Structure 1
Amino acid sequence: MNTPVPPTGELLIEDAVDDLALPLREAFARLDSSLGGRLVLSGDPYWDAARAAWNLDVDQRPAAVVIARSAADIVRTVELAGRYGLAVAPQGTGHNAGPLAADHGLADAILLRTHELRDVHVDARRRVARVEAGALWGDVVAAAAPHGLAALAGSSHDVGVVGYTLGGGVSWLARSHGLAANQVLAVELVTADGRHRRVDEEHDADLFWAVRGGGGDFGVVTAMEFRLFPIAEVMAGMLLWPVERADEVAAVWAEWTRRVPDSVQSVVRILHLPPLPELPPFLAGRSIVVVEAVVLEDRARTDALLEPLRALAPEIDTVHAQPPAELLALHMDPPGPVPGRGDGMTLRELTPAAVRAFVGAVGAGSGTALMTTEIRHLGGMVEPDAAVLRATDLGLPTPGATAGFDAGYLLYSAAIAVPGADEAIARSLGRLLSSMEPWRAPQEYLNFAEHRRDAERLFGGRDGRLARLRAIKRAVDPTRLIRSNHPVG
């Protein structure tokens, strides 16, 4: 849609909530009458749907839910929360909501849902997309594809653009193009004082730095702009083997990743799939090991690069030329909300011993209750120094709070939370993470951290980054009105 781009600087919203000396229930009623969206309270027939996270195993119990339809709705909500000593927890799709909901973390907060703000505008000439706070990657890909443009999108169509990007954003093009956060040109957000700002490298530069990889702790994002890339076709697909070959496949893949160029992004996964009717026959009820790969090369070069993996004679090989839009289906993520348990960690390296630990924890005969466990290859433009050098060479904005990761690989594992499986899942996840602990990298990835972490694990250890983030948080939100799933402290 052709959403106009507002001028740079502070944006003004009229008719914010009056300074009310009313009981909270009456103030909520006044707020509800002023919203273009709606306010939902406990006892409302829509309450359970309004408070639901994407992970249906997460139980969010806020003081109220506001479903916003405009930036003005967000300003009004923040104004009211400030007057009544409430927090505001912004949320689009509700991915990675577990840390936010833990230990009754929403009891004094308004859960501010932005999922109805879905407008996407693509400026094909500038190769820039402006998206509203609730836009999904499926929305962006659909808008960009007709112009031959690609975004640094998540692995599934229903991942929210804003939350993914605030956390850094590791896409299928990350090794060649860096994190999604590094391609952001401007962010529009409402800060705790009720101001609606547009920040970029020249306006509120510190805040602009913080929101690019520092998470959602600094304001309620209403829109963002980011670069698109002229990529009309990639070579991509999966190679599949029975799980009994996981040790061999994972070892070859690990060695292979040490030699491939930055044009190759790949994942090795071990899956134990239930016999669900919606799965194709070659997957339903099976345990398999899979390598998924995306290659920005022509067919001949791709064939040459994949030869060490194909020498293992995969049972299925789907690698083919395809538009970037098809990458949203490559990872075979669930098509909608499910109840699940999972967590992740970054790895410094993947030695032969690390491969054996990985396969031993989740491979054949492990007895694991985890459905999917993956290791993603990082490096390339995901390395912080490489990201900074590229920005300098191309005259791009300096990378934000998370320029990249001092890690070679990214581990993530999850299971469907079926009744009675809690203990088995917790035991299996704990076994996996403890097995990989010797290779843990110092910095975690926000988007794969499904349980609470100390801020030092997420933001510490690099050039005073955490101290700078905390100083910016104090400056824009001294009372900690904005509450995110991974606060800076």
Structure 2
Amino acid sequence: MTVRDAAARPAGTTSSTGTAALRGLCGGRVHLPGDPAYDVHRAAWNLAVQQRPAAVAVPHSVAEVQEVVRAAGAAGLRVAPQSTGHGAGALGEKDLADVVVVRLSELTGVTVDPTARTARVVGGTWWKDVVAATAAHGLTAPHGSAPDIAVAGYALNGGLSFYGRQHGLAVNAIRAVEVVLADGTCVRADAGERPDLFWAVRGGGANLGVVVALELDLLPYADVFAGMLLWDREQAPEVVPAWVRWTRGAPESVTTSMRVLSLPPLPELPAFLSGRDLVVIDGAVLEDDARADEVLAPLRALAPEVDTFARIPVTGLLDVHMDPPDPVPFVSDHAVLGELSDEAVDVFLEQVGPGTTTGLLFAELRHLGGALGRPAPDGGALSHVDGSYAMYCIAVAPSPEALAAGAAATSGIVGTLDRWSLPQRVPTFTDTREDTRSMFGGTAWARLARLRDEHDPTRLLLAHHEV
């Protein structure tokens, strides 16, 4: 029997008696079912996720995180760190009746060291705040495609950025972490201090502790050649195959995604988007303007209706992907794909091309390869992603009926490309409960599981993707 099988939680403690011990912690910012603010603080950014934990704690300091972890452990409860809840689907599928969600959204801050080209980022800080702080020094970070995603959850679980094919997964930019462990102690881990923990948390994330701060290596860009190309979906049979062919020879300095979108008719959307079915290619080219124009020329030859690619401040890259600015209810599915043959592209177009009714908000193929596919020599449990493309499909799900229909639509389209799928999954694109062996190599997973047992033998911690 393994430590995980035998993990002992204190017996005879119910969630109601356990959570009573939490009242008064975090300056009174522990919210239990029935409290006026409970529903506000339990809500994830993905509004389709209905997580109902035993309590939600909202710490403002590391000391408050520590006291919640200790009190939860003493009461026989578990602890699940969460910042925004963009990827809360996997956690929402679990029984949280004995779980305290530690909401890190109010534990924030950024300190930049421009000489060392690093930033110390606290707890639940959003990427938009990091990018703004670093841009003031002519630097940036390997952020995600949306401004309101928290740094910790994204980076600790890999992180695919539009700098990725040149610079690798965002997790490889982490040079140190500060972690509250299952016993409530707060430690620093880096390559020289607690190297096993440092290896494990880079990919294992909340399986090892509540990460209250990260130190990141920054990128030397004050501006970037980036933007989007847009066509009506009627041109998908021409644009999609052309993009796939183009990616096969694109330099590592280029990271792009291709999406087939079906946007609802909403007044807040600009006229060129509202109510339309579209094909959009967006991303960044880390070259000078002349070389960037040369690289993009084959795509521009397809006569896009809109072309915004240009030299922009690095802060503008957060808006290029047009992610929703406010929380939405959605369901998704995902796969990592190998090289796509002409047949694979035809199968994709049969599902999302002109005249089809997908039920999706979008079906996306994000170009991988380059540095994203190379193991980092000093990397952690997750340092690269095999494959050529990450496929990510999303459907809006404002009701239980829409949730079921959306789940069927997203899984159905992903399933049509099974023949080109690889075993690995990208944690930040995986919103459902999955065997975490699919996110790590077998050797890495075994080591990660062993280190999890060493650092949390009673399984106090509950990660979205549990090892």
TM-score for the superposition, normalised by structure 1: 0.90
- Equivalent position amino acid for 1:178 in 2: G
Q: Residue 477 of structure 1: CA displacement?
A: 0.4
User: Retained in 1: the 8 A contact 2:42–2:53?
Assistant: yes
For the pair 1:233 / 2:214, whether they are aligned, the reply is no
Q: What CA deviation, in whole Å up to 9, does each residue of 1:375-416 have, x standing for no partner?
A: 01111111134x33xxxxxxxxx0111110111111111121
For the pair 1:402 / 2:393, whether they are aligned, the reply is no
- Equivalent position amino acid for 2:107 in 1: L
Aligned-pair identity in percent equals 48
- Give the whole-Å Cα distance in 2 for the aligned partners of 1:449 and 1:37: 34
For the pair 1:111 / 2:91, whether they are aligned, the reply is no
From 296, 319, 325, give the equivalent of 1:335: 325
- Give the whole-Å Cα distance in 1 for the aligned partners of 2:15 and 2:395: 40
From 53, 56, 69, give the equivalent of 1:62: 53
* Residue matched to 2:440: 459
* Residue matched to 1:71: 62
What SS does the aligned partner of 2:446 have?
helix
For the pair 1:415 / 2:395, whether they are aligned, the reply is yes
* Residue matched to 1:164: 154
* Residue matched to 1:190: 180
- Give the whole-Å Cα distance in 2 for the aligned partners of 1:344 and 1:182: 22
* Residue matched to 2:344: 354
From 75, 84, 95, give the equivalent of 1:93: 84
* Residue matched to 2:430: 449
* Residue matched to 1:124: 114
User: Retained in 1: the 8 A contact 2:209–2:461?
Assistant: yes
Summarize the Cα distance change of 1:45–1:247 in structure 2 as closer, same or farther, 3 Å threshold: same
From 26, 37, 40, give the equivalent of 1:49: 40
For the pair 1:429 / 2:429, whether they are aligned, the reply is no
Q: Residue 323 of structure 1: CA displacement?
A: 1.2
Q: Which moved more, 1:153-162 or 1:230-239?
A: 230-239
- Give the whole-Å Cα distance in 1 for the aligned partners of 2:385 and 2:88: 23
* Residue matched to 1:439: 420
Q: What CA deviation, in whole Å up to 9, does each residue of 1:56-108 have, x standing for no partner?
A: 0100111111111111111111111111211100001112111112142x111
Q: Residue 45 of structure 1: CA displacement?
A: 0.9
- Give the whole-Å Cα distance in 1 for the aligned partners of 2:354 and 2:405: 17
- Equivalent position amino acid for 1:465 in 2: A
Matches within 5 A, 1:299-318: 299-318=289-308
User: Retained in 2: the 8 A contact 1:215–1:486?
Assistant: no
What SS does the aligned partner of 2:453 have?
helix
From 34, 40, 44, give the equivalent of 2:31: 40
- Give the whole-Å Cα distance in 1 for the aligned partners of 2:137 and 2:91: 38
Summarize the Cα distance change of 1:45–1:254 in structure 2 as closer, same or farther, 3 Å threshold: same
What SS does the aligned partner of 2:417 have?
helix
- Give the whole-Å Cα distance in 1 for the aligned partners of 2:257 and 2:128: 21
Q: Residue 23 of structure 1: CA displacement?
A: 8.9
User: Retained in 1: the 8 A contact 2:226–2:285?
Assistant: yes
* Residue matched to 2:3: none
For the pair 1:469 / 2:419, whether they are aligned, the reply is no
- Equivalent position amino acid for 1:443 in 2: Q
Q: Residue 28 of structure 1: CA displacement?
A: 4.4
What SS does the aligned partner of 2:220 have?
coil
Q: Residue 195 of structure 1: CA displacement?
A: 1.2
Summarize the Cα distance change of 1:80–1:356 in structure 2 as closer, same or farther, 3 Å threshold: same
Q: Residue 418 of structure 1: CA displacement?
A: 2.9
- Give the whole-Å Cα distance in 2 for the aligned partners of 1:86 and 1:457: 28
User: Retained in 1: the 8 A contact 2:395–2:410?
Assistant: no
User: Retained in 2: the 8 A contact 1:415–1:425?
Assistant: yes
User: Retained in 2: the 8 A contact 1:56–1:340?
Assistant: yes
What SS does the aligned partner of 1:422 have?
helix
User: Retained in 1: the 8 A contact 2:334–2:392?
Assistant: yes
For the pair 1:285 / 2:275, whether they are aligned, the reply is yes
User: Retained in 1: the 8 A contact 2:436–2:465?
Assistant: yes
- Give the whole-Å Cα distance in 2 for the aligned partners of 1:448 and 1:116: 25
User: Retained in 2: the 8 A contact 1:247–1:355?
Assistant: no
- Give the whole-Å Cα distance in 1 for the aligned partners of 2:200 and 2:356: 42
- Equivalent position amino acid for 1:45 in 2: P
- Give the whole-Å Cα distance in 1 for the aligned partners of 2:232 and 2:130: 35
Q: Residue 26 of structure 1: CA displacement?
A: 6.9
Q: Residue 426 of structure 1: CA displacement?
A: 2.4
- Give the whole-Å Cα distance in 2 for the aligned partners of 1:414 and 1:112: 27
What SS does the aligned partner of 1:247 have?
helix
Gaps of 5+ in 2: 1-11
Gaps of 5+ in 1: 1-20, 389-397
User: Retained in 2: the 8 A contact 1:372–1:413?
Assistant: yes
- Equivalent position amino acid for 2:447 in 1: R
Q: Residue 34 of structure 1: CA displacement?
A: 4.1
Summarize the Cα distance change of 1:240–1:27 in structure 2 as closer, same or farther, 3 Å threshold: closer
- Give the whole-Å Cα distance in 1 for the aligned partners of 2:73 and 2:166: 43
Summarize the Cα distance change of 1:23–1:88 in structure 2 as closer, same or farther, 3 Å threshold: closer
- Give the whole-Å Cα distance in 1 for the aligned partners of 2:137 and 2:245: 37
Q: Residue 215 of structure 1: CA displacement?
A: 3.3
What SS does the aligned partner of 2:365 have?
strand
Q: Residue 22 of structure 1: CA displacement?
A: 10
Matches within 5 A, 1:473-488: 473-488=452-467
User: Retained in 1: the 8 A contact 2:19–2:54?
Assistant: no
What SS does the aligned partner of 1:278 have?
coil
User: Retained in 2: the 8 A contact 1:215–1:487?
Assistant: no
